[in-house]
Structure 1
Amino acid sequence: MKQLKIASIPGDGIGKEVVPAAIDVLKAVSEVHGGLQFEFTDFPYSCEYYLEHGAMMPEDGLERLKDFDSIFLGAVGNEKLVPDHVSLWGLLIKLRREFEQQINIRPAKVLNGIQSPLVNPKDFDLIVVRENSEGEYSEVGGRIFREEDEIAIQNNIFSRKGTERAMHYAFDLASKRNKHVTSATKSNGIVHSMPFWDEVFQDVAKQYPEIGTDKQHIDALTAFFVTHPDRFDVIVASNLFGDILTDLGAAVMGSIGIAPAGNINVNGKYPSMFEPVHGSAPDIIGKGVANPIGQIWTAKMMLDHHGEDEIGKVLLDVVESTTADGIITPDIGGKHSTQEVTDEIIKRLKAKA
């Protein structure tokens, strides 16, 4: 019997609605898969927690979380209560950095029953591997002078170690998929970091002769995501480029509400963290219409991470059969509630037992 200890952080807004829904689905997964059990522990870290305690998590918050197998996060942010840079850097980014979650992965694919805004999406199925710890999101920089002389400096940090790590992850992933990796670059405009990125990509690619490769400048690549998303398998990108591409990937799927993500610790020292791409969606809190699919697909990614690929595939197939039958929430053109979509997925999962 495998037992996974999961730290559940519903966070803010609709996170408090979709995380319990996804946990109910995971409990159904354990019924279908007799050899897998989950032990969930809830943590209240959120903007509401900040208002009460002056921090997004307690001083020993990381210590409390570090021995879990994974972290299951809902959403972070409520700008009316706490500025976004405070909430994100106090919780989400803090966990990513302190727990060395140096890789972010986000899939995008056509799901039956969910209308892509593309006229002909051609059944695309891609995944973006994003370097998650440095690049354009480094903390190095600052401001000097005041008024019209004020200068803001933001340094992009690209280490060979961090860049190679992301690229190796992408190539290893491609070896299990369709054996092709695309590098997102901008070496014709960013004259130091991006030529370095290209050189490291060439060096790593030589170690995977069975994997096809190409490189695309980020401006062209974003256009191809719209015109020919089906041409891509695995894309490896820097922190900023990966962030932008993955939101675009969610959009061409049909809704950011269905997009999942994983923040991966590759050395096994700390837990990885799994979260949907959508935010806290304050406009629909409490209405019962939040789309649970992003959180449930995120649960599938967590299962994959722990070697449970088979049941993970079953779960995504069940989700897709549910959407194909039109059992979807209003954000993607349906009329069903969060609970109704969740209940249907659970019913279909149990039918597999």
Structure 2
Amino acid sequence: MENKKHFRIAVIPGDGIGKEVVNEGLRVVEHLADTSNKFSFESDYFPWGCQYYLDHGRMMAENGLEEIKNHDAIYFGAVGYPTVPDHISLWGLRIAICQGFDQWANIRPVEFLPGIQSKLNHPNKEDLNWILVRENTEGEYSGIGGRNFTGRGNRKEVAVQSSIFTEEGCERVIRHAFQLALKRKRKKVTSVTKSNAQQYGMVLWDEVFERVSKEYPEVETDQWLVDAMAAQFVLHPEELEVVVASNLLADILSDLGSALAGSLGIAASANLNPEGRFPSMFESVHGSAPDIAGKGIANPIGTIGSAALMLEHLGLPDEAKMINEAIRATTEDGVVTADIGGENTTKEVTDSIISHLSKMYTNV
């Protein structure tokens, strides 16, 4: 077939259920590649994660970024295990990749899937969907600070953790949110800060938001403090379209949105380097869940949805849309895992998604 695209994917399954759900996502992508004949891909596996840390004293290879920088995308499982402190596992792998490859826009859709009992009491739940746009490389997760004064004696240590807000960093992620809003039926961007208490960095964010918004007169805007926005998520989610916030605030709000929709297990995300200077990384929002690893009951939907985001980023929007439609058809059929009230295994959910994809091609 002419112009058939070929992609190299760096696969980092990570820890716990990461290995299981990533393999299910790759099964879906492989099925689409074989059926559509529009693209092909090859996967290079990298065994980085907590076991790698226990064996080598680091979460990834010393030249890890160099090893994966020429791949077309990164497909990431999950990271974390009880024997390794969380700040080591997070900073040693996921944040190292996000910052090292300047993946400054983290996109986290919130969607209420049919057939799933959500935690939200709302008359039109299945019409709700919004996107969290998270600044992904600076802000509260800049990693600036330190611990000192241990020599003063017991319980006198001091820890300093600084947030870094640059005008460039604020502007590019806010502008990205406006560009996403232009593609939606309702064109609206909501900015979330805590600028009444964070009087420097987040006031800068507010000022940049106000300046950039003037370039998009067709886009409706509003600005909220994060505590009030948490209530808005529950009380008036129909007012949400594109929500843009700092690294920490969007991280928390996206988990709230996913929980309201039923489970973190259904939440997808994309860590984007929009300029394409480095590969972007795609991962589900949930953690490694070591307590259920190996039992075959992990929810693969978030990771499969992340594969859809990956295909869209790689220039295959039709295939991405088909995956999302197959996910919705599967949940509507009641084929779901235990975390959202079902009895199906990880493999059975994926099999159902693949079956619905096959039907779509049959009906074309």
What is the TM-score normalised by the length of structure 1?
Answer: 0.97
Give ranges in structure 2 of 5+ residues lacking alignment.
none
How many Å separate the matches in 1 of 2:261 and 2:40?
Answer: 32
SS in 2 for 1:136: strand
Structure 1 partner of 2:131: 127
The answer to whether residue 133 in structure 2 is matched with residue 118 in structure 1 is: no
Q: What 5-or-longer segments of structure 1 have no aligned partner? A: none
CA distances 1:189-238 after superposition (whole Å, capped 9, x unpaired): 22112221111001110111111100011100011111111211001101
- Does structure 1 residue 222 correspond to structure 2 residue 225? no
Q: Does 1:86 align with 2:81?
A: no
RMSD across aligned positions (CA):
1.2
Residue 167 of structure 2 is matched in structure 1 by 160
Counterparts of 1:128 and 1:321 in 2: how far apart (Å)? 24
Moved more, 115-124 or 215-224: 115-124
Cα distance in 2, alignment partners of residues 155 and 208 from structure 1:
32
* 2:199 counterpart (187, 191, 194): 191
Q: What residue number does 1:243 align with?
A: 251
Which position in structure 1 is the counterpart of 2:301? 293
Q: Distance in 2 between matches of 1:143 and 1:56?
A: 22
Q: Which moved more, 1:249-258 or 1:25-34?
A: 25-34
Task: Tell me the equivalent position of 1:105.
Answer: 107
In the TM superposition, what is the alpha-carbon distance from 1:307 to its structure 2 partner? 2.1
Match of 2:54 in 1: 51
SS of the aligned residue for 2:276 comes to coil
* Sequence identity (%): 52
1:12 aligns with 2:15: yes
- The separation in 2 between residues aligned to 1:17 and 1:117, in whole angstroms, is 26
- 1:13-64 deviations in Å (ceiling 9; x for gaps): 0011111111000011113322111211111111111122221111121111
Provide, for residues 239-291 of structure 1, a one-character-per-residue CA deviation record: whole Å limited to 9, x for no partner.
11111111111101100011111100122111000000111101111111010
CA contact (8 A) 1:181 1:233 kept: yes
| Whole-angstrom CA distance in 1 between matches of 2:141 and 2:100 | 15
CA distance in 1, matches of 2:121, 2:273: 37
What's the counterpart of residue 70 of structure 2?
A: 67
CA distance in 2, matches of 1:225, 1:176: 22
The DSSP-based 3-state class of the residue aligned with 1:101 is coil
Moved over 4 A (4+): none
- Give the equivalent residue in structure 2 for 1:280: 288
What is the aligned partner in structure 2 of residue 347 from structure 1? Answer: 355
Letter in 2 for 1:311: E
- TM-fit CA distance, 1:115: 1.2
| TM-score in terms of structure 2 length | 0.94
SS at match of 1:349: helix
Amino acid in the other structure paired with 2:323: L
Partner of 1:269: 277
Q: Pick the aligned partner of 2:176 from 166, 169, 172.
A: 169
Shifted more, 43-52 versus 95-104: the winner is 43-52
Query: 1:46, 1:57 within 8 Å by CA — same for their partners in 2?
Result: yes
Deviation for aligned residue 1:151: 2.4
Give the stretch that moved more between structures: 112-121 or 239-248: 112-121
